[in-house]
Chain A
Amino acid sequence: MQHVFDAFSLGSLDAMLALGIALVFGVMHLVNFAHGELVMIGGFTIFLTAGLPWPMIVIIVLLVVAIAALLMERIAFRPVRGADPTTLLVTSFAVSILLQSVAAIIWGRRAKGVDFASGLSEPVTIFGTRIAIVDLVSIGVAVVLVAGLAIFLTRTATGTAMRAAAEDFVMARLLGVSANRVIAAAFALSGILAGAASLLLVASTGTIQSNMGLQPVLVGFVATVIGGVGSLVGAALGGFLLGVLTVTMQVALPLEARGYRDAAVFAIVIVILLVRPSGLVSSAALEERV
């Protein structure tokens, strides 16, 4: 039972990261490796606001990371919009390294302890099983964010425009959909997801570091690939699947082989991609545009 909660908790975090990456990819065909630095910005915002009541920290972090994502789009990615995918990819690496370096110059490269929501590490007993509160919160936050995102995408004019732009960006513009607005909305939402991920990460690990976004963004990227690049449903599924796989391997592998957990997980990822090269959910977004 505990492993089930662990799997869903980790899967929730991975799904949030994957959705953030997939949202931006959908409208811009940009694999934003600097998404991890949004998580890092969230982490350092928690560090700087430590001591404030937690609801205020949550609001400030979500706001700061969403604004950082908007600035990232405006300053770094808008000038190269429409460039070939390699240019976009290299730009995102450059932004990622730049932000990591700036954080390292200001705060150093060593991990710093942060006392944020440490009470969430305490376990509670549900159906006779001891489960860390942070795991329940992760699952709850992911459910709320995924449901909120689904409602936004299907029930609002901007959401519908985003789905249309993800399918055929040029045609959406020809119908009067503003490219700037749709891309900004995708970055802002991606920032909110990255902010939420940073809050959950810091709540469970209690540390921040200039390169803290690297591992999560790689996991998020792999989750989007498993799910089917360009598909939001696929990204969420891929995230949960990756979480379930990681915890399953952690439990299933003999003690002496647990060091190879990630190798085993990624071996399974390779098998999944060999069977379904376009991921679990194929997407129209990857079809050739006008």
Chain B
Amino acid sequence: MLEVAELRVAYGAVMALRGVSMRVLEGEIVAVIGANGAGKSTLLWSISGVVKPVGGSIHFRGDRIDGQRPEAIARKGLSLVPEGRHIFGALTVRENLELGARARGRLNRGEQEDLVGLAVSRFPFLERRLQSPAGQLSGGEQQQLAIARALVARPKFMLLDEPSFGLAPLIVERVMQELAQLRDDGITVLLIEQVAGIAVELADRTYVLRNGEVELTGTREELLERADFAAAYLGESYV
């Protein structure tokens, strides 16, 4: 479904990605983990069209998308939930959701209402907050709104950047349940996580990035078999 080949991204003289290749198959949850500065977020921004690569290619469902504008990529069915949520705090919760539905093209009022209803059925707390400015929601609620906003676009593929960032453990658990639910809904997921334990637990396959390169890749079982991986990324409890 998504194929990244030999992707190279530079910020001035600094190479952030040095020939990253990866593949995400339809219906999979694939995680990308790595330390700060490994190139995880750069990979995600490149796939979503915000950062232009200097080499390599990205194909989504057979179309080459590297170099295309972010809005054009979004309209192909690729939704991003960025780190830090990036909800529109001055807009109401309903307006945030309606904007999320824009990627589906021009919708009439009824279709828009159906999509807002879809978000509310998934995240019931949103119903009584629809007219509130989104900036008044708590961090956990904002994260769920960000996922709901991506969901109303009815995406085929979701990119999530550190959805656990800054959330209480209980909320993280709820968010992860939501991500597992995405797979059941037939949405393919690429998950960027710094908390490797969360990512490996949830993902079908995981890529480990280091200094802009793929250091390791494998299924949960394959990675856990490697003592060096467990020690470096999962901590003592896994070793």
B34 within 8 A of A: no
Our pick among B45, B86, B98, B104 for the contact of A168 (Cβ within 8 Å) is B86
Binds A, one of B9-17, B69-77, B187-195: B69-77
A170 to B49, CA, bound (A): 10
For B212, the chain A residues whose CB sits under 8 A away are: none
A179 to B73, CA, bound (A): 13
A151 to B79, CA, bound (A): 29
Report yes or no: A290 in contact with B99, Cβ–Cβ below 8 A. no
Report yes or no: A175 in contact with B89, Cβ–Cβ below 8 A. no
A84 to B170, CA, bound (A): 42
Binds B, one of A124-132, A157-165, A252-260: A157-165
Report yes or no: B71 in contact with A176, Cβ–Cβ below 8 A. yes
For B95, the chain A residues whose CB sits under 8 A away are: 160, 163-164
The residue in chain B whose Cβ has the minimal distance to the Cβ of A176 is: B103
For A161, the chain B residues whose CB sits under 8 A away are: 99, 102
For A164, the chain B residues whose CB sits under 8 A away are: 88, 91, 95, 99
B40 within 8 A of A: no
Inter-chain contact total with CB atoms closer than 8 Å: 70
Our pick among B90, B98, B149 for the contact of A284 (Cβ within 8 Å) is B90
Our pick among B71, B89, B104, B153 for the contact of A173 (Cβ within 8 Å) is B71
Distance to closest chain B CB from A218 (angstroms):
28
Report yes or no: B90 in contact with A173, Cβ–Cβ below 8 A. no
For B88, the chain A residues whose CB sits under 8 A away are: 163-164, 167-168, 171-172
The residue in chain A whose Cβ has the minimal distance to the Cβ of B135 is: A284
Given A157-B102, A161-B99, A161-B102, A174 and B48 contact (CB-CB distance below 8 Å): yes
Distance to closest chain A CB from B100 (angstroms):
6
A179 to B135, CA, bound (A): 23
A157 to B91, CA, bound (A): 13
Given A164-B91, A179-B71, A290-B50, A171 and B82 contact (CB-CB distance below 8 Å): yes
Report yes or no: B70 in contact with A173, Cβ–Cβ below 8 A. yes
Interface string of A96-107 (1 = CB under 8 A from B): 000000000000
Interface string of B128-149 (1 = CB under 8 A from A): 0000000100000000000001
Interface string of B81-95 (1 = CB under 8 A from A): 010001011110001
Our pick among B45, B69, B102, B135 for the contact of A175 (Cβ within 8 Å) is B102
Report yes or no: B71 in contact with A290, Cβ–Cβ below 8 A. no
Distance to closest chain A CB from B32 (angstroms):
18
Distance to closest chain B CB from A286 (angstroms):
13
B80 within 8 A of A: yes
Report yes or no: B149 in contact with A175, Cβ–Cβ below 8 A. yes
The residue in chain A whose Cβ has the minimal distance to the Cβ of B83 is: A290
For B90, the chain A residues whose CB sits under 8 A away are: 163, 167, 284
Our pick among B82, B98, B135 for the contact of A174 (Cβ within 8 Å) is B82
Identify 6 new A-B residue pairs, CB closer than 8 A, beyond the known A160-B91, A174-B74.
Answer: A167-B89, A170-B70, A170-B86, A176-B102, A177-B102, A284-B89
A-B contact pairs, 29 of them (CB 8 A): A160-B98, A161-B102, A163-B90, A167-B88, A167-B89, A167-B90, A168-B86, A170-B50, A171-B88, A172-B88, A173-B69, A173-B70, A173-B71, A174-B48, A174-B50, A174-B82, A175-B74, A175-B99, A175-B100, A175-B102, A175-B103, A175-B149, A175-B153, A176-B102, A176-B103, A177-B71, A178-B71, A179-B71, A284-B135
Contact surface of A with B, Cβ cutoff 8 Å? 157, 160-161, 163-164, 167-168, 170-179, 284, 290
Please name the 4 residue pairs, one residue from A and one from B, whose CB atoms are nearest each other, closest first. A176-B103, A171-B86, A176-B74, A173-B70
